[in-house]
A and B are shown apart, each in its own frame.
Chain A
């Protein structure tokens, strides 16, 4: 498949295939982002950016900019990635064996593997498919930032999710009716040159179990990232430090609840009244949990909020530290900047 530049060079105007693809990308963006975000993108390019609807945005802003070559398909692909690859996801952390890392990051090796699997098009293009029949690798790309490199593997799948409709009574039978809806789910794996591997699975609405999603993703990427060469990176230290060093970290983190367990099987759950409150602000909850920890208790899970910080994030971001030992979740939409901030902060306190 030709890339954007080749398509433009091939004719005088922007080819119809490019326009069609841009329309498809914009359609996908509607599910993952908002008009102001796309407006910001246009503004950054010093283009007209106001739009009252997605139709207006497409017809009056994006397509004219594309035809005038002020915006490219690559720009739109990047915006789509920013919109749908961060937030609303459960993240599982792993680290690679150093001896093998170079091979997994080698572009030639990745290209060879793509050729062998007959999916070379995912290296130069994004397969725009809203609801594929089966989970599909839609893009493999290299990202470079601050002289650090990472490879991103993007997988799109069609999922079914249910939403409650009504209770139906028929004689002495009672039936709960649910609507089944097909939704697009975007899962990604990002391998950093440090050896860190993040697997991000789009959040399910009806379950907190991600075992089968993780297995499926590892299976799909086995030719690029063999499971056996990666170990889980537990967040135990981060969970413990958040409690132990809460005074020093209070400008960065706020707790809305925390669950502690011990090896007797006992559990202590501490929660704020409103989820906007801080569990440790002026209450006796902290010393109570400390006491439990002194007698063998440990932090099993926490609900934390990363506070707004000038120059970092402009609003609080909610993070769940629960589930698998190497798992955290951001269940709301968030920007890439917010996601990267959360990841970096958690890693910093997990050392």
Chain B
């Protein structure tokens, strides 16, 4: 996937992050699963990281990043608003992080 390579090398000097849907928009793969598989391989090889972000419903910013779905609590403090919130699947985003290239060396 040429477009995926372009994304990986777009910002070599800084960390960049993309939601899965943004990746879908930029790459326009023939098959969603094909892209998810390619991203999974990159995660496995250590080229990128995948995280699951709980997003504040009111503040829209992240309130917690997790490595796996099992780690996501069912309830947590929304630091954007200062109150405890119940976490539902609607509050989760899959984020792919491309580290700055010097972080790789």
Contact = CB atoms under 8 A, between A and B. Distances in A.
Interface of A: 207-209, 227-228, 231-232, 234, 236, 259, 261, 263-265, 267, 269, 298, 300, 323-326
Contacts of A325: 21-22, 24-25
B30 A231 contact: yes
Chain B contact residues (Cβ within 8 angstroms of A): what range? Answer: 20 to 34
A122 B85 CA distance: 47
Interface stretch (B11-19, B39-47, B70-78): B11-19
A343 B60 CA distance: 28
A232 B89 CA distance: 22
Given A231-B28, A263-B18, A324-B21, A269 B60 contact: yes
A265 B17 contact: yes
B60 A267 contact: yes
Interface of B: 10-11, 14-19, 21-22, 24-26, 28-32, 60-62, 88-90, 95
Given A261-B19, A264-B14, 16 more contacts: A207-B90, A208-B90, A209-B89, A227-B31, A231-B29, A231-B30, A232-B24, A232-B28, A236-B26, A263-B10, A263-B18, A264-B15, A265-B95, A300-B19, A300-B22, A325-B21
Nearest to B31: A228
Contacts, number: 51
- B interface: dominant SS: mixed
Contacts of A259: 60
A265 B17 CA distance: 6
A264 B25 contact: no
B22 A231 contact: no
Contacts of B26: 236
Contacts of B31: 227-228, 231
A265 B61 CA distance: 9
B25 A236 contact: yes
Nearest to B86: A176
A298 B30 CA distance: 23
A265 B24 contact: no
A326 B22 CA distance: 11
A263 B17 contact: yes
Contacts of B62: 265
Given A234-B25, A236-B25, A269-B60, A264 B16 contact: yes
A298 B90 contact: no
